[in-house]
């Protein structure tokens, strides 16, 4: 892993640490009486705060996870560096697109 | 020879590093599925509700409990790495790694009690 990727990996980890704590709290809160779509969407639809929170979370995790997957592929598979980079970029883009689509699905009124 | 080469794998810190990597990999595999599930709300609230009722199965709940454990373990393992890299070295890293595993198990157990 080069220095630039290392810094992105650590910076996104630092950004996500408090977000993960809040997300775990949300998971516990959301499951207090069993989870229902109506319950979830009533909290999230039209909420700029949740849109910003999960938008930031998805952006950070897309970068963080793609660099992590790159490290694993580079160290545990025989793939050459170009293929590893291509896989990591593809995975990061898939996460970003699906993640932002999921945020839109739950916050758009 | 093999025994000597693999001796480091008995170390709590080697296990902690492996748990961090494997939990990260598991979360990376889970995330696209998680996002696709939430994306069902784009079709309709009923479509998301139907998926959530499917996820009431005990096996799915067991998988969710495992994910909560891995999520917490990855968070705590990551915090330990950030602290090691950015602050003065502190002894007792093996104890901290063990504490992280114990805390993750407690959070996962609390989730188990909540969903079953």
Q: Taking chain A (109 residues) in consecutive chunks of 10 residues, what is each chunk's mean pLDDT? A: 93 98 96 90 97 98 98 97 97 98 97
DSSP letter assigned to residue B57: S
CB contact A34 to B (< 8 Å): yes
Closest CA to A88 of A7, A9, A15: A9
Question: Residue B19: which CATH number?
Answer: 1.20.1300.10
Tell me how close the Cα of A104 comes to any Cα of chain B, in angstroms: 8
Q: What is the pLDDT of residues B29-85, one digit of tens each?
A: 999 999 999 999 999 999 999 999 999 999 999 999 999 999 999 999 999 999 999
Q: Which domain holds residue B51?
A: 2-115
**Domains contained in chain A, CATH given:** 3-107 (1.20.1300)
Interval B15-31 mean pLDDT: 97
Q: What is the per-residue pLDDT for B4?
A: 61
Please give the pLDDT value at position B3: 59
Residue B88 has pLDDT above 70, yes or no: yes
Identify the pLDDT of residue B8: 79
Chain B hits for A90, CB-CB cut-off 8 Å, are none
Residue B7 clears pLDDT 70, i.e. is over it: yes
- Asked if B41 and A106 come within 8 Å (Cβ–Cβ), the reply is yes
Closest CB from B41, B42, B78 relative to A37: B41
Provide the mean pLDDT of chain B.
93
Q: What is the DSSP letter of B17?
A: H
Interface residue A31 vs chain B (CB under 8 A): yes
Q: How many CB pairs under 8 A join A and B?
A: 88
CA-to-CA dists, residue A105 to A38, A52, A109, B24, B111, angstroms:
13, 14, 9, 25, 26
- Distance between CA B97 and CA B15 in Å, rounded? 9
Q: Is the pLDDT of residue B101 over 70?
A: yes
The half-sphere exposure of A50 on its side-chain side, counting CA atoms within 13 A, is: 18
Q: What angle do CA B111, B115, B116 make, to 5 degrees?
A: 115
**Number of domains observed in the structure of chain B:** 1
Which pair of structure tokens corresponds to residue A58?
């998805």
Q: What integer is the mean pLDDT of B4-13?
A: 78
Which residues have CB under 8 Å from A74's CB, separation 6+? A1, A81, A84
């Amino acid at each position: 892993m080069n220095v630039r990727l290392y810094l992105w990996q650590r910076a996104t980890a630092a950004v996500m640490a408090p977000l993960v704590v809040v997300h775990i709290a949300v998971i516990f809160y959301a499951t207090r009486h069993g989870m229902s779509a109506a319950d979830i969407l009533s909290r999230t639809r039209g909420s700029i705060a949740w849109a910003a929170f999960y938008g930031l979370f998805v952006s950070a995790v897309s970068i963080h996870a793609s660099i992590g997957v790159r490290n694993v592929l580079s160290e545990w598979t025989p793939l050459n560096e170009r293929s590893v980079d291509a896989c990591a970029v593809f995975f990061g883009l898939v996460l970003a697109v699906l993640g932002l689509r999921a945020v839109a699905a739950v916050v758009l009124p | 020879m093999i025994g000597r080469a693999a001796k480091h794998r008995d170390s709590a810190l080697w296990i902690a590093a492996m748990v961090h990597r494997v939990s990260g990999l598991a979360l990376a595999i889970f995330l696209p599925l998680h996002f696709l599930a939430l994306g069902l709300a784009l079709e309709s609230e009923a479509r998301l509700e139907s998926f959530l009722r499917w996820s009431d199965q005990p096996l799915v709940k067991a998988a969710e409990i495992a994910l909560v454990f891995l999520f917490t373990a990855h968070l705590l393992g990551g915090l330990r790495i950030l602290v090691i890299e950015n602050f003065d070295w502190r002894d007792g890293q093996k104890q901290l790694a063990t504490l992280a595993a114990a805390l993750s198990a407690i959070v996962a157990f609390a989730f188990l009690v909540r969903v079953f």
